[in-house]
Amino acid sequence: MSTSQRRRSGGFSLIELLIVVVILAIIAAIVVPQLSATTDDAKVSALASNLSRMRAAIDLYYQQHGAYPGASTAVTPGTCPSSGTKGTGDASNAAAQAQAFADQLTMYTNATGHACSTTDSTFRFGPYIKSAELGLNGIPKNPITDNRTVVVVDTGNLIMTGSATAAGWRYDIQTGKFIADDANYDDL
């Protein structure tokens, strides 16, 4: 066997290695954008699911109370049964309305919307969403904005407008309309 044949069979040439690298780069260029698109699709799907869950909870609350959550105070006069924790949202301003909204959807409520963490024959409605499943205040995160804050308005005409507050959701207590706080997805 000659010297050139032994050297040739011992490894890959530079040209062969470059061809393999180019092929791998082409495959990566095809696969990476598809993975990115799949991630975006998953976020939009999660957003649609969260919107559906929240809208169903808002609708059920409305059917049982005759008003939308956040429109009335969640603060319970007197005491809660079994040493439960009272709701704290009082519907006096946007921040308090957002807290009333969260309390009334994640706690047990009576017919007037007062909220309590424990149930009895008076506090027989709800909870409409399980706060333990969803984390802080029971409101799910908007997967697009990665924010669970709810901006509450009472205009009766909820539209996406410039907001100084970066939020996950926008909610109108007069109409019960609940949308993502993102102009690209406010039509879901």
Listed by start position, the domains of the chain span 12-180
Yes or no: say if 105 and 128 are a contact pair by the CB < 8 Å rule: yes
Mean pLDDT of 55-78: 89
Give the pLDDT confidence score for residue 22 in this predicted structure: 93
Q: Using the predicted structure, report yes or no on whether residue 133 has a pLDDT greater than 60.
A: no
Q: In 2-13, which positions are buried (b, 16+ CB within 10 angstroms) versus exposed (e)? A: eeeeeeeeeeee
Q: Using the predicted structure, report yes or no on whether residue 68 has a pLDDT greater than 70.
A: yes
At 181, which helix (H) or strand (E)?
Answer: none
At 21, the pLDDT band (50, 70, 90 cuts) reads very high
Mean pLDDT of 152-161: 72
Model pLDDT for residues 22-43, shown as the tens digit of each residue = 999 998 888 777 766 677 888 8
State the Cα–Cα distance between residues 149 and 8, nearest whole angstrom. 66
Mean pLDDT of 111-133: 85
Q: What percent of the chain has pLDDT over 70?
A: 83
Contacts of 80 (CB under 8 A, 6+ apart): 86, 116, 117, 118, 123
At 136, the pLDDT band (50, 70, 90 cuts) reads low
- As a whole number of Å, the end-to-end CA separation of the chain is 73
Q: What percent of the chain has pLDDT over 90?
A: 27
At 12, the pLDDT band (50, 70, 90 cuts) reads confident
Mean pLDDT of the chain: 82
Q: Using the predicted structure, report yes or no on whether residue 56 has a pLDDT greater than 90.
A: yes
